[in-house]
Amino acid sequence: MSQAIEQPRFTCALGSCQSVVAIKKGVPILHSGPGCGGQISRIIGQGEGYAGGSTAPCTNAEEQDVVFGGEKKLRSVIENSFKVIDGDLYVVLTGCTAAITGDDVAAVTTEFQDEDKPIVYVEEGGFKSNNYASHERLVNAIIDQYVDKFYESDEKIPGLVNVFASIPYQDPYWNGNLEGIKKLLTDIGLKVNILFGGESGGVEEWKTIPNAEFNIVIGPWVGVKIAKHLKVKYKQPFVQFPYLPIGAIETSRFLRTVASAAELDTEKVEEYIRKEEEKYYEHIEKMASFMLEFRYGIPRRVYSIADSSYALGFSKFLLNELGIIPGTQYIVDDIPEKYQDLVREQFENISELDKKRDIEVVFDPDAGNNQLKLEEDAKKYEDKRILILGSAWDKNLASKLNADLLIISPPVQYRLIMNCAYVGYQGGLRAIEDIYDIVLSTYR
């Protein structure tokens, strides 16, 4: 899509600098205008992490760099970044200025790579794509320019998998979600390269990417290019689970999908699933009596203004486990057309009882337009309480419709997030607590 956007909910290609911040002791070096870093961390990012935000090195392009080129300045900033900031991996990312003026970032960075410095470059240019697509390019660049240097043999480590799931900071709950995914997979007997965040092992973990037996992609599209790249490069097969698994049904399905790909001991995996579901449904019983008996109204329809992975994951969970029926789904991640059918198909088959559900799916990153449509559509449900899965932008709309708003997309302004997660069995329970907390807090 290329039209104007009101209420942006993602950022430009340079946004993958936040993925660098999410790698332990990763240092992004921005070859960009002076404001770019700030713009990105204001929409995706709370806190500056190890060396992001105002700590991140930047060439801060000025007029003369645009006229005469900024390679010399870049060289100087890279050289001194090694001296000033203690990092394990440095990644040079280019903004619009360098991309338009045509600085040879590859040549400059290669000089340092030749000295065996842990440095990688990604030629982006903010206008070239968005941070969903650039996240894939960033990961592939790190694999090609850094990880591959340490690649010695084809030998695979039994049970080792690479996971490509939440995009750091674009998924506001990325840290918790990645921790949750790692725990689930570890519990069924796998060794997990989660690569980003608190539970990852930093660059040492990245170096073992080639030794994984296979790769797991969670989501309908982001990550597929990484998995395909690895399939060619290190002959690793991949398995894709096309949305974030939230709650018991989807988490068990996810684990079975992975277990079958990994050829794990079915009995052990089933035993784990049985135990987890048992614990989970004990809690669901409490929830059920509340839901069935609460007299003052709880949500009956859910709209998403969210990315495709979240919209699918939450809709499946809310329909099958809480009885909240999905209304129109507004997908704002600018998902390429070739993946849109997959998302539509998942929505068509959303019911666990194979009941036909006619859910309208709108792919449009112009969320301002989506809000107008949603408001109009909601008139059909004047007798129902509405839940909106959205972002900070939807606060007014929610209050206008007397709807409950759960923020699951950037910008998040009204939530402080540390390691909250919605993935897995635990994440499902957390989602229930959060949703009904929002509902109940509206009663005085």
Find the shortest distance in angstroms from Cβ 20 to other proteins.
13
Closer CB to other proteins, 63 or 263, in the complex: 63
Report in angstroms how near the CB of residue 144 gets to other proteins at its nearest: 22
* Least spacing, CB of residue 323 vs other proteins, in Å: 31
- Whether the CB-CB separation of 96 and 127 falls below 8 Å is answered with yes
Burial (0-12, 13-18, 19+ Cβ within 10 Å), 228: middle
Of residues 100 and 440, the one with the C-beta less far from other proteins: 100
User: At its nearest, how many Å lie between other proteins and the CB of residue 190?
Assistant: 30
| 348, 351, 352, 353: CA torsion to nearest 10 | -110
What would the two tokens of residue 108 be?
Answer: 């400059």
**Cis omega (within 30 of 0) on the bond before 411?**
yes
Nearer to other proteins by Cβ, of 236 and 371: the residue is 371
CB of 425 to other proteins, least distance (A): 31
Beta bridge mates, 386: 301
Nearer of residues 323 and 368 to other proteins, judged by Cβ: 368
Chain CA centroid to CA 72, Å: 35
Q: How far is the CB of 263 from other proteins (least distance, A)?
A: 41
Is residue 388 within 8 Å of residue 302, measured between CB atoms? yes
Least distance to other proteins, CB of residue 273, Å: 37
If the CB atoms of residues 264 and 392 are measured against other proteins, the closer one turns out to be 392
Alpha-carbon span 190 to 259, nearest angstrom? 9
Provide, rounded to whole angstroms, the least separation between the CB of residue 93 and other proteins.
11
3-class SS string, 204-248:
HHHHCHHHCCEEEEECCCCCHHHHHHHHHHHCCCEEEECCCCEHH
What is the dihedral angle through the alpha carbons of 124, 125, 128, 131, rounded to the nearest 10 degrees? 60
Half-sphere exposure of 172 (CA within 13 A, CB side): 24
* Closer Cβ to other proteins, 37 or 428, answer by number: 37
Strand 26-31 to 89-94 pairing: parallel
Q: Which is nearer to other proteins, 159 or 411 (CB)?
A: 411
Nearer to other proteins, 2 or 289 (CB): 2
Could you give the CA distance from residue 416 to residue 407 in angstroms, rounded to a whole number? 11
CA 101 to CA 80: how far, in whole Å?
23
3-class SS of residue 170: coil
